[in-house]
Amino acid sequence: MPRKKQDSTDTSTKSTPTSKRQYKSIFKEGYVTAGNYITEVIFEKRHNHFNCGRFPEKFWTDKKHQGPYKGQVIQANRLLKKYHPDSIIKAIKSPEAKFIFKLQDKKLIPIIEKIESRRVETEIEYSKPQESGTPMPSFSKHKNILRDL
């Protein structure tokens, strides 16, 4: 029995999260990569602002949205090389970026850098090494007989 060809558009989501696909898709069931999720957030924000109605389920295959979607994914992946995905997502959703509808906007970079610096500072605070110069003394006054077995 011949195998059916997989639809190339269905490979953008998986039903379970993996190391690369860890973000829940906004427009489709399954999980997507960080670049695709950031692009979906931008498109949802743009769509809600201009009050365009409901997006089709696979809007990125539509000729009207295909080019801009690919461009935003490329720009999202460029930003991901420099910044953490959570910082980019928080910057897009922040009130300071209310009128930013493209990842290419130069006003977005300072917002991302500000959030990234806050994220790095909190990461450093949580990961401070504890001082362990000497081992903790034994509270037992007697020799452990099981130790010699």
Over residues 64-107, the pLDDT tens digits come to: 878 888 999 999 999 999 999 999 999 999 999 999 999 999 99
In a domain, 66, yes or no: yes
In a domain, 98, yes or no: yes
In a domain, 52, yes or no: yes
Domain of 109, in residue numbers: 34-125
In a domain, 120, yes or no: yes
In a domain, 131, yes or no: no
The predicted structure's pLDDT at residue 26 = 82
In a domain, 18, yes or no: no
Instruction: Please state the pTM of the whole predicted model.
Output: 0.69
In a domain, 136, yes or no: no
CA angle, residues 131, 135, 136, in degrees to nearest 5: 100
Please count the structural domains in the chain.
1
Q: What percent of the chain has pLDDT over 90?
A: 30
In a domain, 85, yes or no: yes
Residue, of 138 and 35, whose pLDDT is higher? 35
Angle between helices 63-82 and 85-93 (to 10 degrees): 120
The predicted structure's pLDDT at residue 122 = 83
137, pLDDT greater than 70: no
